[in-house]
Amino acid sequence: MGVNVEVREVTKQKLKGSGADVLIQSLKEQGVDVIFGYPGGAVLPIYDALHRNPIRHVLARHEQGAIHAAEGYARVSGKTGVVIATSGPGATNLVTGIADAMLDSLPLVVFTGQVASTVIGTDAFQEADIIGITQPITKHNYQVKNVEDFPRIIKEAFYIASTGRPGPVVVDIPKDISTEMFLTDFPQDKAIHLPGYQPTTNPNYLQIQKAIEALSTAKKPLILAGAGVLAAQATKELQTFVERHQIPVTNTLLGLGSIGGSHKLFLGMAGMHGTYTANTAICECDVLLNIGARFDDRLTGNLASFAPNAKVIHIDIDPAEIGKNVPTAIPIVADAKEALRELLNQSFESPDTIDWLQHLSANIVEYPLHYKADKERGILPQQAVELIHRLTGGDAVVTTDVGQHQMWTAQYYKFNHPHNWVTSGGLGTMGFGFPAAIGAQLAKPNDMVISVVGDAGFQMTLQELSLLQELRLPVKVVILNNQSLGMVRQWQETFYEERYSQSLIHVQPDFVKLAQAYDIQGYKVETMEEAEKVFAEAFASTEPALIDCRVVQMENVYPMVAPGKGLDEMIGVKGE
């Protein structure tokens, strides 16, 4: 490495303050306009600096709430979410959110307080080795050792979090480093010197040519679009490309919204609870173009029968994802937007897909998503989601946890716009959806934000109702209340001979009274008539609302690819 020349244009800025002051100043330089956090002993100097030099701070009621809110904010705004927590328990309470952001590639910079350098390693009060704890679940992490390193580390942290494949970066700050005086001039160092980190964003020309050749001669081409398309802000390019060449598209769970939910070339979501049409298209296609998806096991099912006839083209910014799960014929390491632009720049003959599209359209008609509504049984969760879709026209930002309610929302809510779908995909975190909705609402104050949650997941982070009350955020919380851990119950029904071990919840709080305790309008609905009226009323209001929507307990998510099975072995398909 001969290039270690530092390009520094040091301007004599008059910033003489503590490490904490420099930290806040650096955050302002990064354009940070909101911080999610929770103070404590080890970060008091930082909060004091924040008092002197304010940036909007959202005080969550639990650190997990803070970090999920930051994730929601990052997902919807495309900006990097910023979190501050204190040392020890504050930092460990963030671990779930950090792992969640890692698996779903969300840009976060997380500041954790640490005990003073002099006592690190002595099991001091509120000490936890957060660097060691978070090493496997971060894109990178730092412990600040010298106060002079603050400006550089913060610049690098934001750069690493938001470029390449986005991800969380932890910066651990010993208390004494925050209080130490920063004596040198604040550097205006524009250059970031990270010789070990140079993400490839532009596609290789020869590989693009190979992809074009494969696509133009394909009889049954298919595009699988993942969250990488959304992260790269490449939805317009995707739409132009598929329309120009008439190639059908399916989405991963996290890729929903990268193409309009009602687009004629969209086959619905693929994977474990994907549509019959999407999953069989994967089985039948001869060229599969994956853009920004990582072939997660919930998507592929049994790898042995995944896309058996297809030549796989994989575009991904992270070279380690290419070939990790599925053998790839044409690897293209690139940013999704750059790759799609390059594909659009090359004029090539469109494949003849008339028969293929006709076949797929026939499947869509013959094997649609289905459920059996029954007035006697009460509200079916699918009906509730369809109602939300009808009332919002597919324009709302929707957040969820993990489980049945998540899958029904993914299946029945058709997203018209990108960046409106916020869900915990990779880690499958209960308690994610509600705080994420708070972050999403802060990112898009004028949009309608609906948090569709299950009764169990909601109870993991419901203390954040305080934020709706405090900030009067007009988030609508819709609890699809089936008084159970729905997906656990469904699996016990299907794979454990109906032994419902600890999955049925007999005792619940009165959610309406709970909402009222937080000065939020609460509703309970038990029939579709009530639901129509209450949803319409709540959605029309500019105030927050909580709706306890009682749904049929024993309803299951179908169709389904059972664990270990292939996409060609779906169960619960209509028409079969």
Partner 1 sequence: MKRVITTTVLNQSGVLNRVTGLLMKRQFNIESISVGHTEQPGMSKMTFVVNVDNEAKLEQLLKQLQKQIDVIKVHDITDKAMVMRELAIVKVVSSPAVRNEIYTIVEPFRATVVDMSKNVTTFQVAGDPEKIEAFIDLMRPYGIKEITRTGVSAFVRETQKTHSEQLSIL
Active site residue ranges: 63, 125-126, 175, 487
1 binds partner 1 per the rule CB under 8 A:
yes
Q: Which residue's CB is nearer to partner 1, number 194 or number 362?
A: 194
Residue range at the interface with partner 1 (CB under 8 A); choices 81-89, 317-325, 359-367, 470-478: 317-325
Residue range at the interface with partner 1 (CB under 8 A); choices 47-55, 81-89, 129-137, 208-216: 129-137
Contact residue for partner 1 among 10, 181, 191, 194 (CB under 8 A) = 194
Q: Which two tokens stand for residue 101?
A: 């952001």
Which position has the token pair 């029945």?
Answer: 412
**Binding to partner 1 in span 231-270, by CB under 8 A:** none
Q: Which residue's CB is nearer to partner 1, number 201 or number 209?
A: 201
Q: In angstroms, rounded to a whole number, what is the distance separating the alpha carbons of residues 537 and 387?
A: 13
Strands of the sheet containing 168-174, edge to edge, are 56-59, 34-37, 81-85, 108-114, 168-174, 140-143
Of 237, 239, 231, the closest CA to residue 345 belongs to 237
Residue range at the interface with partner 1 (CB under 8 A); choices 131-139, 211-219, 414-422, 483-491: 131-139
Residue range at the interface with partner 1 (CB under 8 A); choices 100-108, 191-199, 359-367, 427-435: 191-199
Of 398, 404, 385, 372, the closest CA to residue 273 belongs to 404
Contact residue for partner 1 among 8, 10, 125, 135 (CB under 8 A) = 135
Q: Which residue's CB is nearer to partner 1, number 142 or number 432?
A: 142
Number of residues located near partner 1, criterion CB under 8 A: 20
Q: Per-residue x/- marks for partner 1, 320-349, CB under 8 A?
A: x--xx--x----------------------
Of 575, 519, 506, 573, the closest CA to residue 546 belongs to 519
Contact residue for partner 1 among 50, 66, 74, 160 (CB under 8 A) = 160
Q: Which residue's CB is nearer to partner 1, number 207 or number 279?
A: 207
Smallest distance from partner 1 to CB 139, Å: 8
Smallest distance from partner 1 to CB 306, Å: 15
Residue range at the interface with partner 1 (CB under 8 A); choices 316-324, 351-359, 383-391, 560-568: 316-324
Helix axes 19-29, 44-52, angle to 10 degrees: 60
Q: Residue 327: what residue type? A: P
17 binds partner 1 per the rule CB under 8 A:
no
Smallest distance from partner 1 to CB 327, Å: 8
Q: Which residue's CB is nearer to partner 1, number 295 or number 558?
A: 295
Q: Residue 445: what residue type? A: P
Is residue 65 a contact partner of residue 475, using CB atoms and an 8 Å limit?
no
Q: In angstroms, rounded to a whole number, what is the distance separating the alpha carbons of residues 314 and 327?
A: 9
Q: In angstroms, rounded to a whole number, what is the distance separating the alpha carbons of residues 373 and 408?
A: 14
Residue range at the interface with partner 1 (CB under 8 A); choices 195-203, 287-295, 421-429, 476-484: 195-203
What single-letter DSSP state applies at residue 45?
H
314 binds partner 1 per the rule CB under 8 A:
no
Contact residue for partner 1 among 9, 12, 31, 195 (CB under 8 A) = 195
For residue 140, list its beta bridge partners: 169
Q: In angstroms, rounded to a whole number, what is the distance separating the alpha carbons of residues 61 and 463?
A: 6
Q: In angstroms, rounded to a whole number, what is the distance separating the alpha carbons of residues 71 and 80?
A: 9
How many CB atoms lie under 10 A from the CB of residue 499?
9
Q: In angstroms, rounded to a whole number, what is the distance separating the alpha carbons of residues 77 and 418?
A: 11
Smallest distance from partner 1 to CB 131, Å: 6
Contact residue for partner 1 among 33, 286, 318, 519 (CB under 8 A) = 318
Q: Which phi and psi angles does 269 have, rounded to 5°?
A: -75, 150
319 binds partner 1 per the rule CB under 8 A:
yes
Q: Which residue's CB is nearer to partner 1, number 23 or number 157?
A: 157
Q: Which two tokens stand for residue 355?
A: 């028969």
Contact residue for partner 1 among 75, 139, 175, 311 (CB under 8 A) = 139
| Torsional sign, CA 281, 287, 292, 296 | positive
| Torsional sign, CA 511, 437, 475, 557 | negative
Q: In angstroms, rounded to a whole number, what is the distance separating the alpha carbons of residues 212 and 311?
A: 12
197 binds partner 1 per the rule CB under 8 A:
yes
Residue 310: alpha-carbon gap to chain centroid: 28
Smallest distance from partner 1 to CB 317, Å: 11
What single-letter DSSP state applies at residue 566?
B
Question: What contacts 207, CB < 8 A, 6 or more positions away?
Answer: 330, 331, 332
Residue range at the interface with partner 1 (CB under 8 A); choices 110-118, 135-143, 300-308, 479-487: 135-143
Q: Which residue's CB is nearer to partner 1, number 198 or number 446?
A: 198
Q: Which residue's CB is nearer to partner 1, number 139 or number 155?
A: 139
Contact residue for partner 1 among 7, 9, 122, 132 (CB under 8 A) = 132
Q: Which residue's CB is nearer to partner 1, number 223 or number 322?
A: 322
Q: Which two tokens stand for residue 174?
A: 């010993």
Q: In angstroms, rounded to a whole number, what is the distance separating the alpha carbons of residues 452 and 442?
A: 17
Q: Which residue's CB is nearer to partner 1, number 31 or number 195?
A: 195
Residues that bind partner 1 (CB under 8 A): 1, 131-132, 135-136, 139-140, 143, 145, 160, 194-197, 318-320, 323-324, 327
